[in-house]
Amino acid sequence: MIDCLLHTPEGVRDFNIKETSKKNELQNRIGSVFHRYGFRDIQTPTFEYYDVFNHERGTVDIREMYKFFDRDGNILALRPDITPSIARYVSTYYKHEENPVRVCYVGNTFRNGKSYQGKLREFTQAGVELIGINSEDADAEIIALIINSLSIAGLEKFQIDLGQAGFFKGLAEEAGLDANEEEELRNFVDEKNFIAVEELLTRCNMSEDLKQVFLDLPKLFGSVEVIEKARKLTNNEKAINSLDRLEKVYEILCDYGVENYVSFDLGLVNCLNYYTGIIFRGYTYGTGVSIVDGGRYDTLLKQFGKDVPAIGFAIVIDELMLAIERQQISLPEFNIDTLIIYNQQTRKQAILISEEFRSKGMNIQIGLLEKSLEDNIEYGKKHGIGGIMSFNDNEEVVLVNLQTMDKTVVAINELLDRGEKA
């Protein structure tokens, strides 16, 4: 029984001190970019009523949700996706707001995936939602924000794939696919499962030309020339309009100077079917899945009573950390500047000095002298502490710089005047 308590359930994990420090650094860096683009922080509950995330909203498969009951018998769910929570929040608190709403967040999401896939079931997302604007400029701004966020995180080699949900939806409407057929085909196209796409199309009643377009969808990826190639495959008005918009977004991204990070994938149709326009995913090497997912969802808020367009994205912090580690990108870690050790006679002076240094922004650890100075030096080196102050009975302090191992003896009454740190 005790052995069982020492392990975490499948799909969740502990983060050690160093990992947590790096994770906080990443979140702070990314959050600073969100703020510079004018987005403000909000928090939504970790669990909500199940209906916020149900299949009609277009969110994840019901089988991937953690569901439970409250004492009154209501069905609740741990949030598998934060965007529906944001949609509910904005529809509630900004119901009559006519100006755009810009919000950002950091939070954990939960998905009960299949066993033995090696995927986390609890993971952290950092994202933004821009609500109330439907324009190519808004689309491009969000993509530029993603690129700047990944850059400040330390990545140099990454790619943002752009797709258009409207392109697929236009073709699906022309083909007369029912909801189940459309969802099944969308999943196969998104997975680039060519054989499954072909098998499904053989069961559907549509023209051979239209079947060929669907078969070509998973192959329509690459540079901006993909847009022109796709135009030659169809005359569907909705699909063509989607391509026109995608091209305009690319032109604006060129104005931002970030076009080198962008590629196109018209087979990118995403399993979250609330997307209505541009959709995107971010990739880098060192992880086998996307580190960013997002897109335009102009009909989602209407389901909560506020009919406004919206676009947003989420960066998966855990996957980003994995990529950064495998790419050997260094991140600063939180460190203790100084360890102050004292005895019974020098406690008061040590506390006064530690509080003075803390007031100046230093990270100070303090403790009663129970081991030798040499033992404390070894402890400090092991835990990445910058230096040691050791008080003694002679109204003196021994300062040890643990990087250079230089030692200095200073009178206690001179220490604050000098403003030194070990």
Q: What is the pLDDT of residues 365-377, one digit of tens each?
A: 999 888 888 999 9
Q: Which residues are CB-neighbours of 218 under 8 A, at least 6 positions away? A: 189, 192, 193, 194, 197, 267
Give the Cβ contact number of residue 114 at 10 Å: 9
Give the Cβ contact number of residue 272 at 10 Å: 21
At residue 91, the pLDDT reads: 96
Q: Tokens at residue 164, please?
A: 């258009």
pLDDT confidence tier of residue 228, bands split at 50, 70 and 90: very high
Q: Which residues are CB-neighbours of 271 under 8 A, at least 6 positions away? A: 60, 61, 186, 187, 190
Q: Which residues are CB-neighbours of 384 under 8 A, at least 6 positions away? A: 333, 335, 336
- What percentage of the chain reaches a pLDDT higher than 70? 95
CB 276 within 8 A of CB 260: no
Amino acid at 37: Y
pLDDT confidence tier of residue 422, bands split at 50, 70 and 90: very low
**Running DSSP on this structure, what letter comes out for residue 38?**
T
pLDDT confidence tier of residue 421, bands split at 50, 70 and 90: very low
- Dihedral (C-alpha) 242, 243, 246, 252: value to the nearest 10 degrees? -120
Element (H, E) at 253: helix 237-256
Say whether pLDDT at 3 is over 80: no
SS3 107: strand
pLDDT confidence tier of residue 11, bands split at 50, 70 and 90: confident
Q: How far is Cα 258 from Cα 145, in angstroms, rounded to an integer?
A: 10
- How far CA 297 is from CA of 12, 234, 312, in Å, comes to 30, 24, 8
CB 77 within 8 A of CB 108: no
Q: What is the mean pLDDT of residues 63-82?
A: 94
Q: Tokens at residue 48, please?
A: 């909500």
Q: How far is Cα 315 from Cα 2, in angstroms, rounded to an integer?
A: 36
CB 391 within 8 A of CB 346: yes
CB 135 within 8 A of CB 248: no
- Minimum mean pLDDT among 144-153, 248-257, 308-317, 365-374: which range? 365-374
Cβ-in-10-Å burial (0-12, 13-18, 19+) of 32 comes to exposed
Q: What share of the chain is helix, strand, coil (3-state, %, to 5)?
A: 45, 20, 35
At residue 84, the pLDDT reads: 94
Q: Tokens at residue 214, please?
A: 């669907």
Residue recorded with tokens 């690319």: 250
Amino acid at 198: E
